[in-house]
Structure 1
Protein backbone atom coordinates (compact mmCIF):
# COMPACT_ATOMS: atom_id res chain seq x y z
CA UNK A 1 0.00 0.00 0.00
CA UNK A 2 1.37 3.39 -0.99
CA UNK A 3 1.43 6.03 1.71
CA UNK A 4 0.09 9.45 0.82
CA UNK A 5 -0.15 12.76 2.62
CA UNK A 6 -2.87 13.21 5.21
CA UNK A 7 -3.05 17.00 4.93
CA UNK A 8 -4.59 18.93 2.10
CA UNK A 9 -3.21 22.24 0.82
CA UNK A 10 -4.63 25.01 -1.40
CA UNK A 11 -2.76 23.66 -4.44
CA UNK A 12 -4.52 20.31 -3.96
CA UNK A 13 -7.89 22.06 -3.72
CA UNK A 14 -7.09 23.90 -6.95
CA UNK A 15 -6.41 20.60 -8.76
CA UNK A 16 -9.58 19.00 -7.39
CA UNK A 17 -12.04 21.88 -7.86
CA UNK A 18 -10.50 24.04 -10.58
CA UNK A 19 -10.84 27.10 -8.34
CA UNK A 20 -8.23 29.82 -8.01
CA UNK A 21 -5.65 29.75 -5.22
CA UNK A 22 -7.46 32.46 -3.29
CA UNK A 23 -10.80 30.65 -3.54
CA UNK A 24 -9.08 27.43 -2.46
CA UNK A 25 -7.62 29.15 0.60
CA UNK A 26 -11.05 30.56 1.49
CA UNK A 27 -12.59 27.10 1.22
CA UNK A 28 -9.98 25.59 3.53
CA UNK A 29 -10.50 28.47 5.95
CA UNK A 30 -14.29 27.85 5.96
CA UNK A 31 -13.71 24.13 6.58
CA UNK A 32 -11.40 24.94 9.51
CA UNK A 33 -14.00 27.31 10.95
CA UNK A 34 -16.80 24.76 10.64
CA UNK A 35 -14.67 22.10 12.34
CA UNK A 36 -13.61 24.50 15.10
CA UNK A 37 -9.93 24.16 14.25
CA UNK A 38 -7.33 26.78 15.05
CA UNK A 39 -5.38 28.59 12.33
CA UNK A 40 -2.22 26.49 12.74
CA UNK A 41 -4.07 23.16 12.47
CA UNK A 42 -4.31 21.18 9.24
CA UNK A 43 -7.28 19.86 7.26
CA UNK A 44 -7.08 16.15 6.51
CA UNK A 45 -8.15 14.54 3.27
CA UNK A 46 -10.97 12.80 5.16
CA UNK A 47 -12.27 16.10 6.57
CA UNK A 48 -12.07 17.76 3.15
CA UNK A 49 -13.89 14.86 1.51
CA UNK A 50 -16.70 14.78 4.05
CA UNK A 51 -17.15 18.57 3.92
CA UNK A 52 -17.25 18.79 0.13
CA UNK A 53 -19.10 15.54 -0.51
CA UNK A 54 -16.32 14.22 -2.76
CA UNK A 55 -15.28 10.62 -2.13
CA UNK A 56 -11.97 10.37 -0.30
CA UNK A 57 -10.64 7.94 -2.92
CA UNK A 58 -11.09 10.64 -5.58
CA UNK A 59 -9.44 13.27 -3.39
CA UNK A 60 -6.43 11.02 -2.85
CA UNK A 61 -6.01 10.56 -6.63
CA UNK A 62 -5.43 14.30 -7.05
CA UNK A 63 -2.91 14.70 -4.24
CA UNK A 64 0.66 14.78 -5.47
CA UNK A 65 3.81 14.99 -3.40
Structure 2
Protein backbone atom coordinates (compact mmCIF):
# COMPACT_ATOMS: atom_id res chain seq x y z
CA UNK A 1 0.00 0.00 0.00
CA UNK A 2 1.34 3.42 -0.92
CA UNK A 3 1.53 5.90 1.89
CA UNK A 4 0.29 9.32 0.90
CA UNK A 5 0.84 11.91 3.58
CA UNK A 6 0.21 15.60 3.20
CA UNK A 7 2.05 16.86 6.26
CA UNK A 8 5.74 16.88 7.07
CA UNK A 9 6.92 15.98 10.57
CA UNK A 10 10.16 16.71 12.46
CA UNK A 11 11.39 13.15 11.87
CA UNK A 12 11.05 13.77 8.12
CA UNK A 13 13.10 16.95 8.46
CA UNK A 14 15.85 15.01 10.27
CA UNK A 15 16.02 12.63 7.32
CA UNK A 16 16.32 15.51 4.85
CA UNK A 17 18.80 17.66 6.77
CA UNK A 18 20.78 15.04 8.67
CA UNK A 19 20.42 17.16 11.81
CA UNK A 20 18.92 16.22 15.16
CA UNK A 21 15.29 16.23 16.18
CA UNK A 22 15.53 19.54 18.10
CA UNK A 23 16.99 21.30 15.08
CA UNK A 24 14.24 19.79 12.93
CA UNK A 25 11.57 21.02 15.34
CA UNK A 26 13.01 24.53 15.31
CA UNK A 27 13.28 24.54 11.51
CA UNK A 28 9.71 23.33 11.11
CA UNK A 29 8.55 26.02 13.56
CA UNK A 30 10.46 28.64 11.54
CA UNK A 31 8.76 27.50 8.33
CA UNK A 32 5.39 27.50 10.10
CA UNK A 33 5.84 31.10 11.26
CA UNK A 34 7.28 32.29 7.92
CA UNK A 35 4.22 30.95 6.11
CA UNK A 36 1.90 32.72 8.54
CA UNK A 37 0.11 29.54 9.52
CA UNK A 38 -2.20 29.35 12.51
CA UNK A 39 -1.37 26.90 15.33
CA UNK A 40 -3.77 24.21 14.10
CA UNK A 41 -2.44 24.31 10.52
CA UNK A 42 0.44 21.90 9.80
CA UNK A 43 3.16 22.41 7.18
CA UNK A 44 2.77 20.36 4.00
CA UNK A 45 5.46 18.73 1.88
CA UNK A 46 5.09 21.28 -0.97
CA UNK A 47 5.29 24.22 1.45
CA UNK A 48 8.41 22.86 3.15
CA UNK A 49 10.08 22.05 -0.17
CA UNK A 50 9.32 25.52 -1.55
CA UNK A 51 10.63 27.23 1.61
CA UNK A 52 13.86 25.20 1.54
CA UNK A 53 14.32 25.54 -2.22
CA UNK A 54 14.13 21.78 -2.77
CA UNK A 55 12.31 19.61 -5.28
CA UNK A 56 9.04 18.38 -3.78
CA UNK A 57 9.35 14.92 -5.32
CA UNK A 58 12.85 14.50 -3.88
CA UNK A 59 11.60 15.51 -0.43
CA UNK A 60 8.69 13.06 -0.57
CA UNK A 61 10.92 10.26 -1.85
CA UNK A 62 13.46 10.82 0.91
CA UNK A 63 10.78 10.83 3.60
CA UNK A 64 8.27 8.19 2.57
CA UNK A 65 10.02 6.40 -0.26
CA UNK A 66 7.25 6.91 -2.79
CA UNK A 67 6.95 9.33 -5.63
CA UNK A 68 3.48 10.73 -6.13
CA UNK A 69 2.80 11.56 -9.77
CA UNK A 70 0.98 14.78 -10.49
CA UNK A 71 -2.01 14.23 -12.72
Instruction: Tell me if both proteins adopt one fold, taking TM over 0.5 as the criterion.
Output: yes
Residue number in structure 1 paired with 2:19 = 19
**Which secondary structure state, in structure 1, belongs to the residue aligned with residue 19 of structure 2?**
coil
TM-score normalized by structure 1? 0.88
| Stretches (4+) displaced over 6 A | none
Q: Tell me, which stretches of 5 or more residues in structure 2 are unaligned?
A: 66-71
* CA offset digits 1:4-42 (Å, max 9, x no partner): 211000000000110110000000000010111122211
Q: Tell me, which stretches of 5 or more residues in structure 1 are unaligned?
A: none
TM-score normalized by structure 2? 0.81
CA-atom RMSD, angstroms?
1.6
Structure with larger Rg:
2
* Alignment length (residue pairs): 64
